[in-house]
Amino acid sequence: MPDLAEIEATVVRMEARYRAEPLFAVYRRLCTQFEADLSDRRDLALAKASALMLVKFAGEAPDKR
């Protein structure tokens, strides 16, 4: 199981990679809500990683899904 530092590092890498995607602005708004709702850093990092996977999926060409 990855530790918190690994998850947070993954989130940082994913944010850099998907920053140009159309849904990234929505992701940033979600992060504000996650930060208000989640007090545990691991839960916060996992929520962000999950939302970033959605940004990635939405940005892929339909023929790659």
- Answer whether residue 29 is part of any domain: yes
pLDDT at 65 (0 to 100): 56
pLDDT at 63 (0 to 100): 65
- Answer whether residue 23 is part of any domain: yes
> Alpha-carbon distance 49 to 10, whole Å?
8
- Answer whether residue 37 is part of any domain: yes
State the pTM of this model.
0.89
42's enclosing H/E stretch is helix 41-59
- Answer whether residue 52 is part of any domain: yes
Supply the range of the domain harboring residue 49. Answer: 4-60
- Answer whether residue 22 is part of any domain: yes
- Answer whether residue 48 is part of any domain: yes
pLDDT at 60 (0 to 100): 85
Q: What is the per-residue pLDDT across 20-56, written as a single tens digit (0 to 9) for each?
A: 999 999 999 999 999 999 999 999 999 999 999 999 9
- Answer whether residue 8 is part of any domain: yes
pLDDT at 56 (0 to 100): 95
pLDDT at 62 (0 to 100): 76
- Answer whether residue 65 is part of any domain: no
Number of domains present in the structure of the chain: 1
